[in-house]
Structure 1
Amino acid sequence: MTSSTSLTRTLARNPRVRITDVEVLSSAWYVLRRTTFDYQHRDGRWTTEQRETYDRGNGATVLLYDVAGATVLLTRQFRYPVYVNDHPDGMFLEAAAGLLDADDAETAIRREAQEETGVRIGELEHVFDVYTSPGSVTERLHCYAAPYDPADRGEGGGIAEEGEDIEVVELPFTDAKKMIETGEIADAKTIMMLQWAALRGPFRDAPG
């Protein structure tokens, strides 16, 4: 186990939190850290706490939509973590997404959308940023929406050299909404983006 104090003194935005130690538990894929800190409760008491955080970097996602055809473009791929936690077959239906790596969020999601769906994004709208698992995962997800033209779609499918095997799925928007209720769409980012599209986005005036 490697001890690290690189993050101990850098976070001082909250006077009720005093970080005393940061240990790297694993860095085989991404980075798992255990942090020890003193925390001041609302009643003034100080206690020593420990939390483990998984740092895989930040990411971006995009909901691709076609208003004229009333469709959205999603992806389906095998997700092992959901497979071991009661998902029927691990074939997960979701919006195109990926890690930022060294890019800014807009550049990254343009890259990921083209790799996964074959769509070269033109107009791009930033919708919101979210933390999807704040109890343990540090990732902040930048959420975008963009129109696509079915006639301009490329091959997509992901990068085979990286083990990606991605099916591109075009769905009527009304069907996608129903699939939230049935559990066929169970991905948090995709559900949030579909709800946004229905309430404030491109399908807000659509019937049903």
Structure 2
Amino acid sequence: MSKKIGMFNSNDIKIEAKTPLYQGFFKMVRYDFKHKLFAGGWSDTVRREIFERGHAVAVLPYDPDTQEFVLIEQIRIGAMATSDNPWLIEVIAGIIDEGETEADVCCREAEEEAGIVLRQLSKATSYLASPGGTTERIHIFMATTDATTASGIHGLDHESEDIRVHRVAEKDALEWLENGRIDNAATIIALQWFFMHKKVLLKNWSQV
């Protein structure tokens, strides 16, 4: 392993300009910057257009009694370019608004998108969605819920949401991971984290 991994940090970048390009449902900003080089010295000015949509949470509700996840299905227009079916199976997720905590968003979105109440909430991990083109960081949570209350169609009209709720058995979710039925990052990461840490997670939940 190289001894120089992690040799740079944010202090090794010079932001020369930040130019707003578009402000609508989302925002685009152009960054002009220089950065230190591995071989020494500084780069020429680099120009990148960056998609800024804020940061988000994604929560995977699980019912230990029924051994089911609560997942949602909705249309994602960005999936059309590479998928025959742009209605995706996803975890519950939402943007963190100003003044909200990550836990607040988990609970709000669970009610808005699935009509369920979260019980125990555990932070799993966080990741950068696509740092070459967006600043977004997504925080992944696990939660317990009563899956028997999950049904119907949900979402906010003013956000043009049309969301169908699914109760999904563990074995089915695992099969969908393996055969590619689930192919969006937040859902893959959340389910993989659950299956990797299931034993410890359930033990911790049972002790609360």
1:199 alignment partner, one of 185, 190, 196: 196
> Which has the larger helix fraction?
2
1:72 alignment partner, one of 66, 69, 72: 69
Contact 2:59-2:142 within 8 A present in 1 as well: yes
In structure 2, list runs of 5 or more residues that go unmatched: 1-8, 203-208
1:169 Cα deviation after fit: 1.1
Q: Which residue of 2 aligns with 1:36?
A: 32
What secondary structure, in the 3-state scheme, does the structure 2 residue paired with 1:116 have?
helix
Per-residue CA deviations over 1:50-74 (Å, capped at 9, x if unaligned) read 1221110111110011122121110
Q: Which residue of 2 aligns with 1:149?
A: 146
Q: Which residue of 1 aligns with 2:97?
A: 101
Runs of 4+ in 1 over 3 A off after TM superposition: 151-156, 202-205
In structure 1, list runs of 5 or more residues that go unmatched: 1-12
1:152 Cα deviation after fit: 3.8
Q: Which residue of 1 aligns with 2:205?
A: none
Question: Percent identity among equivalent residues?
Answer: 29
2:172 alignment partner, one of 166, 171, 175: 175
Per-residue CA deviations over 1:11-50 (Å, capped at 9, x if unaligned) read xx62321111111111122211111111110111312211
1:22 is aligned to 2:6: no
**With structure 1 as the length reference, what TM-score do the two structures score?**
0.86
Equivalent residues in 2 for 1:126-137 (5 A)?
Answer: 126-137=123-134
What secondary structure, in the 3-state scheme, does the structure 2 residue paired with 1:108 have?
helix
1:159 alignment partner, one of 136, 148, 156: 156
Q: Which amino acid aligns with 2:40?
A: G
Contact 1:80-1:90 within 8 A present in 2 as well: yes
Q: Which amino acid aligns with 2:82?
A: D
1:147 Cα deviation after fit: 0.9
What secondary structure, in the 3-state scheme, does the structure 1 residue paired with 2:16 have?
strand
Alignment RMSD, CA only?
1.9
1:156 Cα deviation after fit: 5.7
How many residue pairs end up in the alignment? 192
Q: Which residue of 2 aligns with 1:7?
A: none
Contact 2:150-2:165 within 8 A present in 1 as well: no
Per-residue CA deviations over 1:94-144 (Å, capped at 9, x if unaligned) read 000010112111101110011111111121111111112111111111111
**With structure 2 as the length reference, what TM-score do the two structures score?**
0.86
**Structure-2 change in CA distance of 1:153 and 1:74 (3 Å):** closer
User: Distance between the aligned counterparts of 1:36 and 1:138, measured in 2?
Assistant: 15
1:197 Cα deviation after fit: 1.1
